[in-house]
Amino acid sequence: MKKKFLLVLFIVFLLAAVSIIGLYTPAKNINQYHTSNKQGKPVIVLLVDSLMDEPLQKAVADGNAPAFEFLMNAGRYYSDLVSSYPTMSVTIDSTLLTGTYANGHRIPGLAWFKTDEKRLVNYGSGLNEIIALGVKQVTTDSMLHLNQEHLNKQTATIYEELASHNLEAASLNGLIYRGPKPHTLTTPNGAAWLNMLPKTIE
């Protein structure tokens, strides 16, 4: 019994170590990127995926969503908005951050057929699809090609639009993040080691 326990403990420790090392990414000093001395209130946009009015209202009524309750009470809440179509994260985010529908930003869905390359593009719709297409292809499409190639270059993102007016903008973990200045992303060690993504990405 003791040997089994020690074996399980060792496996848990090993998995934890691999996870920590594999997901570790060297931290960067973000102060070097902040150059603004402009006054005024910043605007923060939070995208909450799959949040619907009815369950949100119930969570607030039950006291289970105090942060949302605060935002609803301190600001304005509109429950009758109509989503862009199709109702998939990557398409909706592209619409919100470009101000155009799918025919303008050219991201038609979470999965679509790219006729010029004769292949299926998938940004991560489900585990079976990811395995079928290959983790590397899905990761590359969602992390690189989505912003650099698939998103219509003739349609400005909010980051590009604000920069053209000398206003600063940033994206944290957003699917759509294309701006006018190139930055270097250091990928997690595990993704680079497994050859899912290059070690650094422009």
pLDDT value at residue 184: 86
151 contacts 122 by C-beta, under 8 angstroms: no
Kindly state whether residues 75 and 165 are assigned to the same domain. Answer: no
Kindly state whether residues 165 and 66 are assigned to the same domain. Answer: no
CA–CA separation, 128 and 123 (whole Å): 13
Kindly state whether residues 201 and 108 are assigned to the same domain. Answer: yes
Total tally of structural domains belonging to the chain: 2
pLDDT value at residue 41: 82
pLDDT value at residue 35: 59
pLDDT value at residue 85: 84
Kindly state whether residues 188 and 95 are assigned to the same domain. Answer: yes
Kindly state whether residues 171 and 139 are assigned to the same domain. Answer: yes
What pTM does this model have? 0.76
Length of the chain: 202
Kindly state whether residues 110 and 191 are assigned to the same domain. Answer: yes
135 contacts 111 by C-beta, under 8 angstroms: no
Kindly state whether residues 93 and 162 are assigned to the same domain. Answer: yes
- Classified as helix, coil or strand, 49 is coil
Task: Establish if 63 belongs to a structural domain.
Answer: yes
Task: Establish if 90 belongs to a structural domain.
Answer: yes
pLDDT value at residue 129: 87
pLDDT value at residue 67: 95
pLDDT value at residue 171: 87
Structural domain range at position 116: 85-202
Which of 62, 81, 100 corresponds to the end of one domain?
A: 81
Q: Which amino acid type is present at position 77?
A: Y
Count of Cβ atoms closer than 10 Å to residue 71 Cβ? 13
> What are the residues whose beta carbons fall under 8 Å from the beta carbon of 104, sequence distance 6 or more?
98, 152, 155
84 contacts 167 by C-beta, under 8 angstroms: no
Instruction: Please list the residues that pair with 112 across neighbouring strands.
Output: 121
111 contacts 128 by C-beta, under 8 angstroms: no
pLDDT along the chain (202 residues), means of 10: 69 63 63 64 84 93 96 91 86 95 95 94 89 90 93 96 92 90 82 80 84
Task: Establish if 30 belongs to a structural domain.
Answer: no
Task: Establish if 105 belongs to a structural domain.
Answer: yes
Nearest to 189 by CA among 40, 62, 23: 23
